[in-house]
Amino acid sequence: MNAHCDALIIGAGIIGAAVGFELAKAGYKTLNVDKRPAAGCGSTGNSCAVIRTHYSTWDGTAMAYESLFHWQDWQNYLGAPDERGYPRYINTGCVIIKSNHYDAAQGFRYFRELGIAYEEWDLLTLKAKLPLFDPHAFWPPRRPEDDRFWDTPTEKISGAIFVPSSGYVSDPQLATHNLQRAAEAQGGQFRFNCEVVKIRRAGGRVLGVTLQNGEQIDAPVVVNVAGPHSFVINRLAGVEADMRIKTRALRHEVHFVPAPEGFDYENNGYICSDGDIGCYSRPEVGNHILIGSEDPECDPRQWIDDPDDFNREVTLEQWTAQVYRFARRVPSLGIPQDPAGIVDLYDVSDDWIPIYDKSDLDGFYMAVGTSGNQFKNAPVVGYLMARLIHACQSGHDHDQEPVKIQCRYTGLTLNAGFYSRRRAINPESSFSVLG
Ligand SMILES: Cc1cc2nc3c(=O)[nH]c(=O)nc-3n(C[C@H](O)[C@H](O)[C@H](O)COP(=O)(O)OP(=O)(O)OC[C@H]3O[C@@H](n4cnc5c(N)ncnc54)[C@H](O)[C@@H]3O)c2cc1C
């Protein structure tokens, strides 16, 4: 006899664990299987775990806003203890640099529509709050090997937008473990060191999966939450042909540098989104600053064919590009001789907006294409997927009449059709990590 569950979730990253938790809460006998040894050991473990609300679409902004309240109310939301404790949600606030050369105000109309509090900072306010920051404009973002990188800037940026309710989660892997424990408290199960190598199907319906050791697990519901391996799983299931939007793995580096001497960045720094230099940054423990790329045109995109085989070492080229760009904004930054940071993969969709959807294989669902920006949204994605799966399993035609969810904290209504695999590419997207 094969093992059996109501819903088998492939992956136990932050999104997979949240889907497991919400389905278990809805009464499903769930099983999360992951080929890694513990929850959150995939790309989630290297996430910067920034919690911010500026996205380029109404739906993206609304989901991020709803998610914020889950992080502020984390232990209540989980409703179950974790012997390892809980990460901290550190509310630094987010500074979004405004430039004359790109439309930083694009997403802010959604702040007004959704009632998300923000402040407009002129250059004097920015200087008072972040005296380290040089107010000059460096647009367009360039790499140091470009001679124009070193040009003396003549213009200034026009200020910044400050969003007080933003920050980061101190330990993304621990947050995932919290969700595992919360799912287990609802009867959900997790198995690690188990790789799914086959999706079994018959008559247009999913039957279950086969693991690498040959074991078969039967389930009427199988959910692909395999992160950067999402396209591998979709191909195993044979569902890609029906998808207008697909996913690919993209290599990304994040670098750590010590904050300039004499400034307590760990306690007084902010999350910063700086399109003028094409970098985002946030405070990190040990008075460090963590610097990532916002995917400007000058940074080559490193698509990865095999998500199990890519260079996990920080490269001098990308380190120099990101750290030197940030050093133009913060001239007092000391640049360490030894590059330090992490390397991992984003699971990027064709328009950098996720796919949260069913497939043309009955019982097979996907929460994929999280494009470097969905850690924050995991609690809402788990809820949305549980509602969508329950509706479809009850006979609802989600492709014809998309499922809508009522948000628990904000009361907003989110339309799951926005994340359809069959949508046209969304031209409103930033086509970058900003979503
Ligand atoms: C460097 C970096 C920085 C980021 N920064 C932020 C940020 O600041 N804010 C934000 O909101 N988002 C951020 N993100 C994005 C965010 O971390 C991801 O969207 C999120 O973690 C994805 O979670 P997941 O559960 O879908 O994937 P993962 O955490 O990758 O989990 C997928 C799991 O599936 C398992 N798996 C794969 N194939 C199989 C198989 N065949 N059988 C069994 N198991 C399998 C893997 O082992 C893995 O554990 C960042 C991502 C990266 C890489």
- What value, to the nearest 5°, has the Cα angle with vertex 321 and ends 315 and 324? 120
Q: Please report whether residue 433 resides in a domain.
A: no
- What value, to the nearest 5°, has the Cα angle with vertex 430 and ends 96 and 13? 90
Same domain flag for 259 and 336: yes
Same domain flag for 156 and 303: yes
Q: Please report whether residue 429 resides in a domain.
A: no
Q: Which of 34, 46, 47 to mutate to test the pocket of ligand 1 (most atoms within 8 A of CB)?
A: 47
Question: Using CA atoms, how far apart are residues 165 and 54, in angstroms rounded to an integer?
Answer: 11
Question: Using CA atoms, how far apart are residues 318 and 313, in angstroms rounded to an integer?
Answer: 11
Q: Exposure of 273 by Cβ count < 10 A (0-12 exposed, 13-18 middle, 19+ buried)?
A: buried
Q: Please report whether residue 435 resides in a domain.
A: no
Same domain flag for 265 and 340: yes
pLDDT in tens, 202-249: 999 999 999 999 999 999 999 999 999 999 999 999 999 999 999 999
Q: Please report whether residue 70 resides in a domain.
A: yes
Q: Which of 170, 311, 308 is closest to 252 using CA atoms?
A: 311
Domain termination site, one of 319, 349, 379: 349
The total number of residues written for the chain in this structure: 435
Domain region containing 414: 3-86+171-246+351-419
Q: Please report whether residue 405 resides in a domain.
A: yes
Closest ligand 1 atom number to CA of residue 18 = 25
Q: What is the pLDDT of residue 16?
A: 99
Same domain flag for 359 and 219: yes
User: Residue 326 sits in a domain of what CATH number?
Assistant: 3.30.9.10
Q: Which of 51, 229, 232, 280 to mutate to test the pocket of ligand 1 (most atoms within 8 A of CB)?
A: 229
Q: Please report whether residue 29 resides in a domain.
A: yes
Total domains in the chain come to 2
Q: Please report whether residue 430 resides in a domain.
A: no
Same domain flag for 255 and 109: yes
Q: Give the tokens for residue 150.
A: 């070193």
Helix (H, G, I), strand (E, B) or coil at 11: coil
Q: What is the pLDDT of residue 99?
A: 80
User: Residue 356 sits in a domain of what CATH number?
Assistant: 3.50.50.60
Question: Using CA atoms, how far apart are residues 390 and 235, in angstroms rounded to an integer?
Answer: 24
Same domain flag for 225 and 279: no
DSSP codes, 254-317: EEEEEPPTT--HHHH--EEEETTTTEEEEEETTTEEEEEE---TTS---EES-TTS---SPPHH
Same domain flag for 230 and 322: no
- Ligand 1 centroid–CA 288 distance in Å is 24
- Ligand 1 centroid–CA 226 distance in Å is 7
Same domain flag for 159 and 207: no
Sign (positive/negative) of CA torsion 12, 365, 304, 67? negative
Q: Give the tokens for residue 341.
A: 């940071």
Domain termination site, one of 321, 349, 377: 349
Domain termination site, one of 328, 349, 370: 349
Q: What are the residue ranges in the chain where pLDDT is below 70?
A: 102-107
pLDDT in tens, 262-307: 999 999 999 999 999 999 999 999 999 999 999 999 999 999 999 9
Helix (H, G, I), strand (E, B) or coil at 238: coil
Closest ligand 1 atom number to CA of residue 40 = 29
Same domain flag for 233 and 340: no
Same domain flag for 124 and 269: yes
Which region holds residue 394: left if phi is over 0, alpha if psi is between -120 and 50, else beta? Answer: alpha
Same domain flag for 287 and 363: no
Contacting residues for 427 by C-beta, under 8 A, at least 6 apart: none
Residues touching ligand 1 (Cβ under 6 Å) are: 10-16, 33-36, 41-44, 46-50, 195-196, 225-229, 252, 254, 344-346, 370, 372-376
Q: Please report whether residue 266 resides in a domain.
A: yes
Closest ligand 1 atom number to CA of residue 342 = 1
Same domain flag for 356 and 299: no
Question: Using CA atoms, how far apart are residues 93 and 284, in angstroms rounded to an integer?
Answer: 14
Q: What is the pLDDT of residue 106?
A: 64
Contacting residues for 379 by C-beta, under 8 A, at least 6 apart: 18, 67, 70, 71, 77
